[in-house]
A and B are shown apart, each in its own frame.
Chain A
Amino acid sequence: MKPIETVPDQKLLLFKSCMVGQEYPGVEAATRYVFDRLGVDWFISEEQSCCTGIGHYTDLFEGLTTTAIAARNFAVARKCGYPNITCLCSTCYAVNKEACELLNTNDEVREKVNSIFREKGLDELVYEKGDMDPRANFYHAVEILLSKVDKISESSVLDFSGIRAAAHHACHYYKVKYKDVIGNPENPQLIDDIAAACGADIVRWYEDRTLTCGMGFSQLHLNKNTSLQVTKAKLDSLKNAGVELMIHMCPNCHIQYDRYQPVIEKEFGVEYDTVHMNIGQFVALSMGADPYKVCGFQTHSVPLEGFLEKVGAI
């Protein structure tokens, strides 16, 4: 278990996510907005590349390429002096952490990656064993937020009381690296604790809480019906529990719920009232950020206007 006291607020490399960037840029903008107000020392590097996660999980990138790209990103993080890689996307988090473990423990892989770098004259990218610590140098943005939950509570200006909210914790955060989760990995409560601190009426347990969002990367495209049925099961449970707002921490889950809720409604002939957002967007909103200029809710497929009016944000 990762002790909350060990989560840093200095030298954080805010790791850009391809899915956040192209689908919900407001997640990044909102997280930056919140980090600034919480006194977090963060930096975004233009040199950082994609973690390859989407490509890796759809069998386009094999492990060695993914590891080599991770090693390159680690060099970027160290070079700019912000070695604590902090991800907006749980897949970036798991891929980076796994690559770091591999580079530290598998001499053959490390040597292979380094020989590619040397061959191409990229000696500054060479990764030495122990350059990064898989436990101490990798975080998800939600962990940083949780470590500042008292300050978030103080800075909350919107009244969320009476809003029935529920959390979906990303499986690439708490199921892949389950020994490094803050709290009980079978019932993570990070989002719940932050949302409760903002005054939301949080539904801490609901049926299918630990079920995946259904995306499964290539599954969404290859076995679309199964994928959407899983998502539907989850949306049904949320409906049964009377949840109005679903808060998540990963752009993949975000896409699955927000983009595909209308699709499921159409294909299965059902209706849902639940709206979706990322925990960074939620905290920014609670601190009084602009719903469109900062949180970027205009890029969502499930319209949030009704919800925003209810909480007095517009």
Chain B
Amino acid sequence: MTVPPEKTAVFICHCSGNISEHVDIKAVKKALKAEGISVFDYEYLCSSPGQDLIKNKIAEKALERVVIGSCTSSKHGLLFKKCVRDAGMNRAMLEIANLREQCAWVHPEKADATEKAITLLRGKLKRLGHVEPLQDIKVDISPHALVIGGGIAGITAALNLADNGVPTHLVEKDSSIGGQMAKIGKIFSPDKLAEECAMCSLSPLMNEVAAHPKITLLTRTEVEAVRGSVGNFTVTLRKKPGYVRDSCTACGRCSRVCPVLVENEFNCGHKDKTAISMRFSQSVPKTYSIDPDHCLQLNGKTCEKCAEACRAGAIDFWQQAEVLELNVGAVIAATGFKEYDASLKTQYGYGIFENVLTQMELARMLGINGPTKGKLVRLSDTCNLDAGNSSVGNSTTDSFNAPPNAFTNVPANDPTLNSSESSSDNENLSDPPVPGRIVMIQCVGSRDEKAGGIPYCSRYCCMAALKHASLIRKKYPDTEITICYIDMRAFGFYENYYRAVQDMGVSFVRGRPAEVVQKSDKSLIVRVEDTLNQKILELPADLVVLSAAMLPSSGTREIAGVLNVSQDETGFIKERHSKLKPVDSSVDGIFVCGTAQGPKDITDTIAQAGLAAARARAFIADSPKVLVHELASINQLTCTGCGDCLSCPFDALSFSESGRVVVDPLLCTGCGYCTEICEKGAVQVAGFTKSQLKAEIEGVLEAGDLLGFVNSGISSLTCDNIGNSVLSYPSNVKLVKVSTGLVVDKELIMHAFRHGAASVLFVEDPPDNPRAEVIFPLALRHFEKLKEELGADGSRLHFKKAYVPNTKGLAGTFTNLAREGEMIR
């Protein structure tokens, strides 16, 4: 389908100098105009005057084909497609040449960048000679949403969705929602200098979740599998038995008669609950449950004491796990964080010395529903009273193998703690003294480039330390508190809080402590260099509190695998764009919020959870949805119906009732495996047909070039990231996007060699997610087969896995291979 040159136009974006300072736009215009093409340029094509320019020119000149030279199509591709569609043009008639990330930003010499820009535009122009209009494929979106994780992030997201009318399932693996926030007694707030009661803010929200008609709450439930895509996720859930029916009235009689004491994970390992219990007294749902690992009856012994005590007949030892299946349109992952294992920093003695604890453990201790009911104590004073007579040598070493939970040794003197009326007659125990000196150590695990440390700042710990210091000083004004810090980060309005805590008389020492030493009376010495005075200090302390880093929870790591979403190097779920798409995951329809996405405090978590809900609702509301990725399409005229392509690794191809081969748009990933198999060439991936690729290759190539076939997924992002990272490579590297390397056949490679390619490089996505795990080995095998078929020319074929962070490695490969090509030239 040939179009006269006057019906085709090129639009070039200056990108406010990002492109125009590196590419001589006048020279580009001149070169293309000489070929009879009209060229327009504008400062920002992505702005609304920029788009109006495109639309007006399409109308004015009755354009039939448009090439836009701008930033990467992954940034504004959708915007420009919408723009040409508004002007009445099929989206296939638009091509975008990447003049920024793959040209202006990677070729420092203006002449090189200009020459490359011309070839990139020429490639796209040639490609437009071989396009067919693309049919929009639309799918219906399920109107239900799923929120995974019942902490403050998940609760906020679920309530926002439900209030917007979206039927929402909230899934929580524990027996109650509430998450980490429920553990913290008091929370800091940016606008007040006072500390607020966490449960007073959280509890009403939890009850609202339970009562909301649009929310289905599933506790003790985990997500096992997720199938499907784009607004039609089939989710398999497993709900573990709690052995107590919903008729439970939470009277607590069962717990009072239960003979088994167990470690309470909620109270950081304190042995203060029974095998039948509620997570905490404000639990939602307000139902007791049995710990199957410790219950006597469930472990083959005869007990049944709880069943006898229960007046509602709610105990059910025969309850089984249930497997549920949901169909949802959008998913929000709100699976939270865990505290860094501070025992990895052995020099601070966590897990060795009893009086070293973490901020979370201090928060539990200060909580009135905590193991000491809010009383500040030295843990060594609460356990064995004979601690005083142990010898000096033994005291520093014998407890090395002690379990890391600080409260493990606290005796359970009150098994009825969970009941609403807590007993007050245990005051006869001699009151342990209040610790007089507390030292807090910041950045334990965070901002630490050593092995086992984490390079990032965990964001919440400076404020948590200030909050605890303030709480303690208010309750025990004689307690001396010193905070050892690297930098205090009290961002925004929190600075007021920081200043107030300074005014309270809390001391600050700038320095990362070297070691914590225990003395014979179990008190501690913190050795630190005060780097402002350059003095070595030995700070005596009764308690040392470690502000441990925030890590993705195991639930976050697991769910990222189940949902097949990208993670960062630490394991947090990676947002698609840190500024523009902060809650979108790498998969359409899956969103993330709270500490599953990165370290943050409660205030930021709630803000982000609200946005995730808004994005999920918008995704669901946009039904039926137009699919953006390109799929396999069958030419029924040439298809012989042999059925070879039915070996599709995603089972996307099948015979219809009338015996024709058809493509399931929800299953097809557009990988191109079928195009390799079909001997008749009857299957092609729309947008990546052989004739289109051939044309683009002709346009971009010059003698001695390195031609890269880049997978349109992670690989393409990595190529863009080379530009974002201010790296460079020679301008004779020409990259052509393909759905995957599988669409490239021998003929295309021969074509590239004939048009000057010195060598050809396949850049493929690593097998890091379920789709790529299937495609990568196929692509590698395909590459090896091509190499063999090409005989002597096979040595000119190369293959490279592209990992997003490894921009340097990929740029290096480009440079090395391009240099070889230059030598041939």
- Seen from chain A, the residues whose Cβ lies within 8 Å of a Cβ on chain B are 1, 178-179, 181, 184-187, 203-210, 240-242
CB under 8 Å from chain A, chain B span 295-353: 344-347, 349, 352
A210 vs B391: C-alpha distance when bound (angstroms): 23
- Kindly supply a per-residue 1/0 record for chain B positions 508-546, scoring 1 wherever the CB is within 8 Å of any chain A CB and 0 otherwise: 000000110110000000000000000000000000000
User: Other than the known A187-B346, A205-B352, A209-B346, what 20 A-B pairs have Cβ atoms closer than 8 Å?
Assistant: A1-B451, A179-B451, A181-B451, A184-B344, A185-B450, A186-B344, A186-B346, A186-B450, A187-B347, A203-B400, A205-B349, A205-B397, A206-B396, A207-B396, A207-B517, A208-B515, A240-B396, A242-B391, A242-B393, A242-B394
Asked if A184 contacts B452 (CB within 8 A), the reply is yes
Asked if B346 contacts A205 (CB within 8 A), the reply is yes
User: Among the listed B347, B352, B518, which residue makes an inter-chain contact with A186, where contact means beta carbons less than 8 Å apart?
Assistant: B347
How many residues from B make CB contacts under 8 Å with A? 20
Q: Which of B400, B451, B452, B518 has the most CB of A within 10 A?
A: B451
Asked if A185 contacts B515 (CB within 8 A), the reply is no
A-B contact pairs, 12 of them (CB 8 A): A1-B451, A184-B451, A185-B452, A186-B346, A186-B450, A186-B452, A187-B346, A205-B349, A206-B396, A240-B392, A240-B396, A242-B393
Closest chain-B Cβ to A135's Cβ sits at a distance in Å of: 14
A205 vs B399: C-alpha distance when bound (angstroms): 10
CB under 8 Å from chain A, chain B span 363-412: 391-394, 396-397, 400
Nearest to B516 among chain A residues (CB) is: A207
Asked if A210 contacts B397 (CB within 8 A), the reply is no
A181 vs B451: C-alpha distance when bound (angstroms): 9
A23 vs B323: C-alpha distance when bound (angstroms): 70
The A interface, classified by DSSP as helix, strand, loop or mixed, is: loop
Asked if A184 contacts B346 (CB within 8 A), the reply is yes
Closest chain-B Cβ to A173's Cβ sits at a distance in Å of: 14
Asked if B393 contacts A204 (CB within 8 A), the reply is no
Asked if B451 contacts A210 (CB within 8 A), the reply is no
What chain B residues lie within 8 Å of A187 (beta carbons)? Answer: 346-347
Closest chain-A Cβ to B385's Cβ sits at a distance in Å of: 24
What chain A residues lie within 8 Å of B346 (beta carbons)? Answer: 184, 186-187, 205, 209
A203 vs B400: C-alpha distance when bound (angstroms): 8
A209 vs B347: C-alpha distance when bound (angstroms): 8
Closest chain-B Cβ to A159's Cβ sits at a distance in Å of: 21
> Which 9 pairs between the two chains have the least Cβ-Cβ distance?
A242-B393, A187-B346, A203-B397, A207-B517, A241-B393, A1-B451, A204-B400, A185-B451, A184-B452
Given known A-B contacts A184-B344, A186-B347, A210-B515, A205 and B452 have beta carbons under 8 A apart: no
A179 vs B452: C-alpha distance when bound (angstroms): 10
A185 vs B518: C-alpha distance when bound (angstroms): 22
- Kindly supply a per-residue 1/0 record for chain B positions 480-515, scoring 1 wherever the CB is within 8 Å of any chain A CB and 0 otherwise: 000000000000000000000000000000000011
Given known A-B contacts A187-B346, A187-B347, A205-B346, A240 and B393 have beta carbons under 8 A apart: yes
A209 vs B349: C-alpha distance when bound (angstroms): 12
What chain A residues lie within 8 Å of B349 (beta carbons)? Answer: 205
Closest chain-B Cβ to A241's Cβ sits at a distance in Å of: 5
A242 vs B390: C-alpha distance when bound (angstroms): 13
Asked if A186 contacts B345 (CB within 8 A), the reply is yes
What chain A residues lie within 8 Å of B396 (beta carbons)? Answer: 205-207, 240-241
Closest chain-B Cβ to A168's Cβ sits at a distance in Å of: 15
What chain A residues lie within 8 Å of B344 (beta carbons)? Answer: 184, 186
A205 vs B394: C-alpha distance when bound (angstroms): 11
What chain A residues lie within 8 Å of B392 (beta carbons)? Answer: 240
A204 vs B399: C-alpha distance when bound (angstroms): 10
Nearest to B514 among chain A residues (CB) is: A210
Asked if A210 contacts B347 (CB within 8 A), the reply is yes
What chain A residues lie within 8 Å of B345 (beta carbons)? Answer: 186
A203 vs B515: C-alpha distance when bound (angstroms): 17
Closest chain-B Cβ to A165's Cβ sits at a distance in Å of: 11
Closest chain-B Cβ to A229's Cβ sits at a distance in Å of: 13
A287 vs B514: C-alpha distance when bound (angstroms): 38
Nearest to A181 among chain B residues (CB) is: B451
What chain B residues lie within 8 Å of A208 (beta carbons)? Answer: 515
Closest chain-B Cβ to A89's Cβ sits at a distance in Å of: 23
What chain B residues lie within 8 Å of A210 (beta carbons)? Answer: 347, 514-515
What chain B residues lie within 8 Å of A203 (beta carbons)? Answer: 397, 400
A178 vs B452: C-alpha distance when bound (angstroms): 11
Nearest to B397 among chain A residues (CB) is: A203
Nearest to B345 among chain A residues (CB) is: A186
A204 vs B352: C-alpha distance when bound (angstroms): 10
A187 vs B346: C-alpha distance when bound (angstroms): 6
What chain A residues lie within 8 Å of B400 (beta carbons)? Answer: 203-205
What chain A residues lie within 8 Å of B394 (beta carbons)? Answer: 242
Closest chain-B Cβ to A20's Cβ sits at a distance in Å of: 29
What chain B residues lie within 8 Å of A241 (beta carbons)? Answer: 393, 396-397
CB under 8 Å from chain A, chain B span 420-465: 450-452
Asked if B451 contacts A206 (CB within 8 A), the reply is no
A184 vs B445: C-alpha distance when bound (angstroms): 13
Closest chain-A Cβ to B13's Cβ sits at a distance in Å of: 40
Nearest to A179 among chain B residues (CB) is: B451
What chain B residues lie within 8 Å of A179 (beta carbons)? Answer: 451
Closest chain-B Cβ to A292's Cβ sits at a distance in Å of: 31
Nearest to B401 among chain A residues (CB) is: A204
What chain B residues lie within 8 Å of A185 (beta carbons)? Answer: 450-452
A209 vs B344: C-alpha distance when bound (angstroms): 15
What chain A residues lie within 8 Å of B517 (beta carbons)? Answer: 207
What chain A residues lie within 8 Å of B397 (beta carbons)? Answer: 203-206, 241-242
Q: Which of A1, A185, A207, A210 has the most CB of B within 10 A?
A: A207
What chain A residues lie within 8 Å of B347 (beta carbons)? Answer: 186-187, 209-210
Closest chain-B Cβ to A228's Cβ sits at a distance in Å of: 18
Q: Which of A203, A205, A208 has the most CB of B within 10 A?
A: A205
Closest chain-A Cβ to B347's Cβ sits at a distance in Å of: 6
A210 vs B515: C-alpha distance when bound (angstroms): 9
What chain A residues lie within 8 Å of B391 (beta carbons)? Answer: 242
Closest chain-A Cβ to B516's Cβ sits at a distance in Å of: 10
A262 vs B432: C-alpha distance when bound (angstroms): 45
What chain A residues lie within 8 Å of B452 (beta carbons)? Answer: 184-186
Closest chain-B Cβ to A109's Cβ sits at a distance in Å of: 21
Asked if A178 contacts B515 (CB within 8 A), the reply is no
A209 vs B515: C-alpha distance when bound (angstroms): 9
Closest chain-A Cβ to B346's Cβ sits at a distance in Å of: 4
What chain A residues lie within 8 Å of B450 (beta carbons)? Answer: 178, 185-186
What chain A residues lie within 8 Å of B514 (beta carbons)? Answer: 210
A221 vs B379: C-alpha distance when bound (angstroms): 46
Closest chain-A Cβ to B448's Cβ sits at a distance in Å of: 9
Nearest to B348 among chain A residues (CB) is: A186
A178 vs B450: C-alpha distance when bound (angstroms): 8
Closest chain-A Cβ to B538's Cβ sits at a distance in Å of: 12
Asked if B393 contacts A178 (CB within 8 A), the reply is no
Nearest to B353 among chain A residues (CB) is: A205
A185 vs B452: C-alpha distance when bound (angstroms): 8
What chain B residues lie within 8 Å of A204 (beta carbons)? Answer: 397, 400
Closest chain-B Cβ to A63's Cβ sits at a distance in Å of: 25
A207 vs B397: C-alpha distance when bound (angstroms): 9
Closest chain-A Cβ to B343's Cβ sits at a distance in Å of: 10
Closest chain-A Cβ to B67's Cβ sits at a distance in Å of: 44
What chain B residues lie within 8 Å of A184 (beta carbons)? Answer: 344, 346, 451-452
Closest chain-A Cβ to B183's Cβ sits at a distance in Å of: 28
What chain B residues lie within 8 Å of A206 (beta carbons)? Answer: 396-397
Closest chain-A Cβ to B517's Cβ sits at a distance in Å of: 5
A187 vs B352: C-alpha distance when bound (angstroms): 13
